[in-house]
Structure formats: C-alpha cells, structure tokens
Amino acid sequence: MKTRSAFFVAAGILCSRLAGLVRLRVFAYYFGLQSDAADAFNAAFRIPNFLQNLFGEGALSASFIPVYAALVARGERRDADRVAGAVASLLALVVALLVLVGVFATPLLITAIAPGFTGAKRELTIEIVRILFPGAGLLVLSAWCLGVLNSHHKFLLSYTAPVMWNAAMIATLVIFGRSELPRLALLLAWGSVAGSALQFAVQVPIVLRVAPDLGFALDAVSTHVRTVVRNFVPVFVSRGVVQLSAYIDSLLASLLPTGAVTGLANAQLLYTLPVSLFGMSIAAAELPTMAGEVGLDASRTDALRQRLDSGLRQIAFFVVPSAMAFLALGDIIAAALLQTGRFRHEDAVYVWGILAGSAVGLLASTLGRLYSSAYYALRDTQTPLRYAVVRVILTTMLGYVCAIPLPRWLGVPPVWGVAGLTASAGIAGWVEMSLLRATLNGRIGRTGLPAEYVAQLWASAICGAAVAWAVKLVVPAPNPVVAAVLVLAPYGLVFFAVAFALGISEASAALKRLKGLSRGRKLDEQLGESKKL
C-alpha cells in the first residue's frame, strides 16, 4: 500500500512538475534571464506564494491531516467530515481577510522584500503582486482539498491538479507572447489567477464524493477542530520561519545585478524537483498512514521507525544521483530546459552555478521532509519549529556573507553571489536535518541511513558522472536537447548498473518493477490479439 500510494503521489508530482518545467521554458523563451520584467514577475510571484505556503499544503499536512486521517481510520466518517468543513470555513475566512490586506499593503511588502527594485521595475512588481494575491487564496483552498483527498488515499488527482494552473499560464504566454514584456508580465499574472481557480475547481467534485457529510460552518466547540487549530499555530510559525528564509534569499538577490532574481527562481524550480518528486511523494504518502497508526496506538513506535527507515532509503536512492547531476551536469540540464528564445547559453551556465550550490544540501532537505512528517504523525509540531528557527538564523548569516562580501573577496562578479545563497542554505539544511534526526532517535530509537549505503550511492553517482563527462567531451551535439539525451542517458544507466552490481536493494526493486510493467504490457497485447481472433 505504501509503495502504491507513494507511486501515485510521485506520478502526480511528476506531471505537475513537468508542466512547471514547460512553463519555465516558455517563460524563458519570451522573457529571457536578464530583463527587468522577468525579475519583477519572479519577485512578485514570491510574495503571494508566502500566503499559499503559510496556510497551504505544509501547514495543513501537519495540523489537519493527522486529526482527520485518525478519525477516518477509526471509521468516524461523519465526525471527520464535520471537522473538514469547519476547517475549510475558518481557512476561507482568514485567507480572505489576508488577501484583502495584502492587496492594499503591497507597496510596503515590496519595500521589505525587494529593496533593490526602483522606478518602473518596482511599480511593475507592485501591479503584479496585487493581481496575484486572490489566486494565492484559491491555492490555499486547493491545499485543503489535497488534505481531504490524501486522508482518503486519493493521491493522484490532488497532485496532478497543479497541471491546470501551469497550463493556464502557458496558454497565456503563447496567446499574448508578442506583447511588450511589462504588459506580458501583467497578463501572465491574470493567467496565474485563472489557473488557480481551475486547480481548485477540478478537486471539488471528488472531495464532495469522498466526504459527503461536509458542513461548512465555523465551529469553535469541537475538540477535534480545536486540536487542528492548536497544532496549526506552531506549524504556521514554522512555515513562516522557513518562508522567511526564502524571502531573505530573494531580498539579497534583489541587491545583486539584474538577472540574479530570475536565475535564482529558475534554479529553484529545478532543484526542488527531486525534493518534491521523491521527498514529498514519500512523506505525503506516509503521513496519513503513520498518523492513523499512531492515532490508534501512541506506543506503536516500531512501525513508525520501520516506515521511516524504509522511506529514507528510497529518498536517498533517487536524490543522491540528482544532487550529483546538478553538481556535474547542471549546464546540460539548464540548457536543455531553458536555452531558447531570449535565454542564452551563458544564462544556462549561470543557472548551473546556482544548481551546483543547491547540491550541497539537496539530500538533507529531502530527508528532512520525512523526519518532519514523523513528528507531525506523533502530534509534535513544536520540535520542527525550533529547528526551523535554527535553520533560518544560519541561512541568514551565511547567506549574507556568501552573497555579498564573498564574491568581492574572491574577485568574481557580484552576480555570482546568488550561488552562495543556495550553498549556504544547504549547510543550514544539514544542521536542521541532523537535529531532527537526533531528537527523534531519542524518542523512538535509532533511525537514519547506514554510512555504507550512502557511500555506495555516491560511488554509483560518481561513476555515472565520469561516463557522462566523457560523452560530453567526445560527442558533439547539434542542440541542447540532443546533448541532454546523449549525456544524461548514460549517466542514469551507469548509476543504476553500478548500484545493482553493489547489491543495493532499491536498484533491484526498480528493475523488478520495470520487468513487471513489461510483462503487463505483453499480457495486454496478447489479450488484445486473442480478442481480435
């Protein structure tokens, strides 16, 4: 069940992320990297997303899903639906008020978030933010739908719904792509709002089907609702702390030359792909199950520990080669996805530098998601909050040093300071993950990845990267997409081959799944032929 659920989450995330990569490529085609309109849109995009990330999936996963999933696991469906309806009503009220305040307070937000923007660039950013805010509110309600569907183990729709949002933005760019860049940025913001509405709308019918007793009313009496609210507050603060870290990065990037904000945004969409695809898929699939088990019997830590260790191994098996690919082959990846239209090869090399910095903490950030889910299943939201604060303090101090004075000390152009932001965030991520692991180990017993297993993964990734570099140097490629196929395919094949030779069980399991899919296709073909006869 766990593997099947994680597969559906991963499949949904993959679909939405692929749509996001298409959107990023189309955006790069029309806006390029070094344009004020691109910087303005990417900076503006972060501000209403602050609202979405605070109230959205992460906070609801930690506070709402454990309570709701436990009720569903006990068969108390009617009480569960009443809790869901009350949470939705309260969430809609609070978010509506914040959207209203945010629209009027946008100039103050721009001053706080992007102090380096002035003149027309600042005014354009303000206009875009005001358009985007209502769409962010709709995305928060979409995250509530995801919480309900996940608790009923309906993962695929909730994680593919963002495809609608990306599709609306892509359509806007294609239809209005000939417009001047400032006007195109405003039209794209309206496309984002339309996409947010579509993402919410496609989930509502299924939510009503799995939760037929939903009642939308404010309820301050229910013990379960009060538990959700009580758990929500520390998670809200924790998410706010994490988002503060992201906005500090954006603030520092706004002080760097034009292109830094857009380069950071491009790289973030790429390096969060493995975090979302592997870390989020496993964490999201495990949380309802862990919450249901712990909710029924708080002493069942053995099952929790076993699930956690299994999930950590699965995450590392995919994230370690992802980190190596960003570090060694980031220029190939960035060029294949982004080098088109106004986006040049030197821009791809710049994004590679940022991706290489992100490789420092990619594994820690992904493992940390699963550790946080284990805490949330135990109804502990305070511990992740404390360690998130530590992470932000470290990210702020290290980020400033690495982004502003360090390039000057090294004698490199200031625009490269943004690569220091991602590297410093990675160091802070390792500190946070280590603290989460150490504290949880004290509560449920030893967890974590064996050193030998991690060494085998890195050895496999290094062998793959060496072969890929040889191909890169020897084989000429007519365009970036062909180059990516010629270089990345050997990288993946060599990684899997070496991992299989070293006896890594996850490689054997992946091979068995591929063989199973192949047999299934052959059986379908045989059945089809027999029906024809």
DSSP 408-461: HHHT--GGGHHHHHHHHHHHHHHHHHHHHHHHHHHHH---S--HHHHHHHHHHH
Confidence of residue 188 (pLDDT cuts 50, 70, 90): very high
The dihedral through the CA atoms of 107, 110, 111, 112 has a sign that is positive
Most confident of 264-273, 281-290, 325-334, 507-516: 325-334
Q: 530 or 338: whose pLDDT is higher?
A: 338
Confidence of residue 296 (pLDDT cuts 50, 70, 90): very low
Query: What would the pLDDT profile of 355-389 be if each residue is shown by its tens digit?
Result: 999 999 999 988 988 888 888 778 787 888 889 88
Where is average pLDDT lowest: 39-53, 112-126, 187-201, 387-401?
39-53
Q: Which residue has 């360090």 as its token pair?
A: 406
Per-domain residue ranges for the chain? 2-449, 452-533
Helices 36-55, 119-151: crossing angle, 10 deg rounding = 30
Query: What would the pLDDT profile of 212-267 be if each residue is shown by its tens digit?
Result: 888 777 776 778 888 887 777 776 666 666 666 667 777 788 888 878 888 888 88
Alpha helices per DSSP H over 255-381: 260-274, 281-296, 301-338, 345-358, 362-377
pLDDT above 90 as % of the chain: 32
* Furthest C-alpha separation in the chain: 77
Q: Which residue has 């339309």 as its token pair?
A: 194
